[in-house]
Amino acid sequence: MTGRHPRSLLQITDLDEAGFLRLLDAAVLLKLQKSAGVEVPLLQGKDIALVFEKSSTRTRCAFEVAAHDQGASVTYLGPEGSHIGREESIRDTARVLGRMFDGIEFRGFAQETVEELADHAGVPVWNGLTDQWHPTQALADVMTMREFHPGPLQDISFCFVGDVHNNVARSLLVTGALLGMDVRLAGPKALWPAPEVVQTAHRLAEVSGARILLTEDVTAAVEGAAFVHTDVWVSMGEPQESWDERVPLLTPYRVTADLLRATGRADTRFMHCLPSVHDTRTELGRRVQQRFGLEGAEVSDEVFESSSSIVFDQAENRLHTIKALLVDALGQ
């Protein structure tokens, strides 16, 4: 056991409020510097491993472009082709990668895997999504909310609707609680986050002053919300058959123009970590249409394509926040 590097980010609670805000401020600066063409490369000579057990577009590209912009190199190990977890244990892989790389990003299934990697690598390990947590997504989500709602974070109200027990919803719950925000989660009880996650949020809220609402009543939950978030109804790693039970359970929580109107605000913004099932331009979207007669699932195409939707600003901010994380951990 070489010990977990203090600059690892495995779940939101690895950060305190000041640490989270420091990363956000750094991301804002890096975004400005990049757009002005005056970015200073602080990661020259650094090597970063990107280990993916699951697919990715944004997270992989954000790590790759962030590293490149800052002068570091990356090595991508995809779901196939390395020995990890098959011929070589996580702890042995961690000790090998830790000898060659300055930092390791990991996306996969079990949270325990990224924790074991961090326990044995001796270099910073960043969780690029597990079944349980998606901390780098939460960084981009808050950065984006702050861009569209300047002022104290404590004044921001947001509501996540749908599968409130997934990695993105849990991360937003705990993040909002850490930062003192007005956090609402609306979804069917069968899909509520585990009690220990809700307890963590309440414990953080006692310190930060966050307001937390977990309810099945979606109309009450979105009232006054400045941001409405959702995510796919079946996450990576869950059986495809889950769609059969999730569609009837979650259809009342679909984000439609009517639901956005129920906030009572004209300026409510729609957010989604992406990818999204909002039309029939994907294989999954066509399957959902054929099987359930739904055009789009968790969000209507009308909302997704509307001027209320800030999903691509949110996606871009994955780059700036992940870059801030890398520079904070490895910058010189």
What are the catalytic residues?
A: 107, 134, 137, 231, 273, 318
Which CB atom, from 215 or from 235, has the smaller least distance to ligand NVA?
A: 235
Tell which one of 11, 24, 26, 56 touches ligand CP (CB under 6 A).
56
- State how far the alpha carbon of 102 is from the alpha carbons of 90, 107, 121, in Å: 17, 17, 10
Which CB atom, from 262 or from 325, has the smaller least distance to ligand NVA?
A: 325
- State how far the alpha carbon of 28 is from the alpha carbons of 32, 35, 259, in Å: 6, 11, 31
Taking a C-beta distance cutoff of 8 angstroms, is the pair 187, 161 a contact?
A: yes
Closest contact distance (angstroms) between CB of 309 and ligand NVA is 17
- Phi/psi at 245 (5° precision): -90, -30
Closest contact distance (angstroms) between CB of 57 and ligand NVA is 9
**Which stretch, 25-33, 50-58, 193-201, 279-287, contacts ligand CP (CB under 6 A)?**
50-58
- Phi/psi at 184 (5° precision): -125, 140
Eight-class DSSP state of 215: E
Tell which one of 82, 166, 309, 317 touches ligand NVA (CB under 6 A).
166
How many CA atoms within 13 Å lie on the side-chain side of 18?
0
Tell which one of 232, 247, 262, 311 touches ligand NVA (CB under 6 A).
232
**Which stretch, 230-238, 258-266, 278-286, 295-303, contacts ligand NVA (CB under 6 A)?**
230-238
Report how far residue 200's alpha carbon sits from residue 284's, in angstroms, rounded to the nearest whole number.
34
Establish if 57 lies at the interface with ligand CP (CB under 6 A). yes
Establish if 59 lies at the interface with ligand CP (CB under 6 A). yes
Closest contact distance (angstroms) between CB of 99 and ligand NVA is 31
- Near ligand CP in 91-130, by CB under 6 A: 129
For residue 275, cis peptide bond before it (omega within 30 degrees of 0): yes
Residue 231 binding partner per list ligand CP, ligand NVA, none, with a CB distance cut-off of 5 to 8 Å that depends on partner kind: ligand NVA
Count H helices, E strands: the chain? Answer: 13, 9
Beta strand 103-107 with 73-77: parallel, antiparallel or unpaired?
unpaired
Residue 167 binding partner per list ligand NVA, ligand CP, none, with a CB distance cut-off of 5 to 8 Å that depends on partner kind: ligand NVA
- Near ligand CP in 242-281, by CB under 6 A: 273-274
Residue 235 binding partner per list ligand NVA, ligand CP, none, with a CB distance cut-off of 5 to 8 Å that depends on partner kind: ligand NVA
Taking a C-beta distance cutoff of 8 angstroms, is the pair 74, 67 a contact?
A: yes
Closest contact distance (angstroms) between CB of 168 and ligand NVA is 5
Cα dihedral: 184, 186, 189, 193 (round 10): -50
**Which stretch, 54-62, 109-117, 154-162, 290-298, contacts ligand CP (CB under 6 A)?**
54-62
Report how far residue 34's alpha carbon sits from residue 322's, in angstroms, rounded to the nearest whole number.
14
Q: What does the buried/exposed string (b/e) look like for 32-71 if buried means 16 or more CB atoms within 10 Å of the residue's CB?
A: eebeeeebeebbeebbbbbbbbbebebbbebbbbbbebbe
Residue 175 binding partner per list ligand CP, ligand NVA, none, with a CB distance cut-off of 5 to 8 Å that depends on partner kind: none
Closest contact distance (angstroms) between CB of 127 and ligand NVA is 12
- Near ligand NVA in 234-293, by CB under 6 A: 235-236, 273
Q: H or E stretch including 182? A: strand 182-186
Closest contact distance (angstroms) between CB of 246 and ligand CP is 19
**Helix%, strand%, coil% for the chain, nearest 5:** 50, 15, 35
Residues near ligand NVA (CB under 6 A) are 129, 166-168, 231-232, 235-236, 273
Residues near ligand CP (CB under 6 A) are 56-59, 129, 137, 273-274
